[in-house]
Amino acid sequence: GAGVSQTPSNKVTEKGKYVELRCDPISGHTALYWYRQSLGQGPEFLIYFQGTGAADDSGLPNDRFFAVRPEGSVSTLKIQRTERGDSAVYLCASSQGLRHEQFFGPGTRLTVL
Amino acid sequence: GIQVEQSPPDLILQEGANSTLRCNFSDSVNNLQWFHQNPWGQLINLFYIPSGTKQNGRLSATTVATERYSLLYISSSQTTDSGVYFCAVTPHNTDKLIFGTGTRLQVFP
C-alpha cells in the first residue's frame, strides 16, 4: 500500500500564528512518531503514539506543542504561538508496533516569518 | 542520554569506488536502522539491523551489538548514492529513534 503521507508539504506562517500538521500512517501501523529536523542536523524525537495514547511525549520542546491521534490512525501536530525557532522540517513515521522498523513520510517544511 | 556518532562526517568518492561508514553508540540498544536521506529530504530505509549482517544489492551492513557499533558498506558507488546517511538506534526502555550525526556522501562521475 501507500507509504506515510504528510500534509501540507510546505507551510509558511507568521510569528504568533497557530499551525496544524497532518500525518497519515501506513495502513495497519499502530505506532506513530513525530520528529523534527533542523538544517544540517539529524531528526530529533518529539512524541510517539501507540494506538490513540501518547506513549512518550518527552521530546516536545514546550507546551506550545501538542499532538493528537483520536482514532488511532491519522495524527495532527499542533503548534501554538509559533516562533521563528520553530522553523524546521517536521517528519512523521509509523511502524507495525513498538520495537518494529520505522518508515518515514516526506515531511512538512515549516517556515515561520 | 545515549550518544550516536558517525564517521566520517564527509566522504567524496568517484563513481565505482567502495566505502565503509561507521556508527558508534554509547549504550546497549534494542534496534538499529540505517537510512539514506536523498537530496529532496526523503528518508529511505536501508537496513533494520539490531545485530548480525544483511545484504541488499550493492549495500550491506553489519551490527556488533556487544561492541556497540555498526558498519554500512557501499560497493561500486553510483552518483545516485549521494546524500546523507544516518544510523539511528532505539535505546532500551523506549521506542524512539536517536539519530547519529550523519555522513554526507558525494559521488562524482
**Is residue A46 in a domain?**
yes
Question: Is the CB of B43 less than 8 angstroms away from the CB of A104?
Answer: yes
Domain ranges of chain B: 4-108
Region A27-54: mean pLDDT is 95
Closest chain A residue to B30 measured between Cα atoms? A99
Model pLDDT, residue B93: 82
* pLDDT band of A69, cuts 50, 70, 90: very high
Mind telling me how many Å the CA of B89 is from chain A's nearest CA?
11
Label residue A18 by pLDDT band (50, 70, 90): very high
Per-residue pLDDT, B79: 96
Q: What is the mean pLDDT of residues A76-99?
A: 96
Closest residue by Cα to residue B36 from B108, B107, B109, B102: B102
The shortest CB-CB distance from B31 to any of A45, A93, A99 is to: A99
Residue A22, domain member (yes or no)? yes
Average pLDDT of span B54-82:
97
Residue whose entry in the numeric block shows the C-alpha cell 517528519:
A91
Domain membership of residue A68 (yes or no) is: yes
Report yes or no on A111 lying in a domain: no
Is A73's Cβ below 8 Å from some Cβ in B? no
- The minimal CB distance from B102 to the residues A42, A50, A91 is found for A42
Of A81, A63, A77, nearest to A14 (Cα)?
A81
pLDDT above 70 for B103: yes
Among candidate residues B56, B12, B45, B33, the one with its CA nearest the CA of residue A103: B45
Phi and psi (nearest 5°) for A95?
A: -150, 165
What is the domain range of residue A24? 5-106
Q: Considering its fold, how many domains does chain A have in total?
A: 1
Indicate whether A89 belongs to any domain.
Answer: yes
* Residue B86 C-alpha, separation from nearest chain A C-alpha, in angstroms: 8
For residue A99, pLDDT over 90 is answered with no
- Selected from 3.90.1150.10, 2.60.120.200, 2.60.40.10, 3.50.50.60, the CATH number assigned to the domain covering B4-108 reads 2.60.40.10
Q: Could you say which of B48, B88, B96 has the minimum Cβ distance to residue A59?
A: B96
Residue A98 confidence class, pLDDT cut points 50, 70, 90: confident
Q: Provide the pLDDT for residue B52.
A: 97
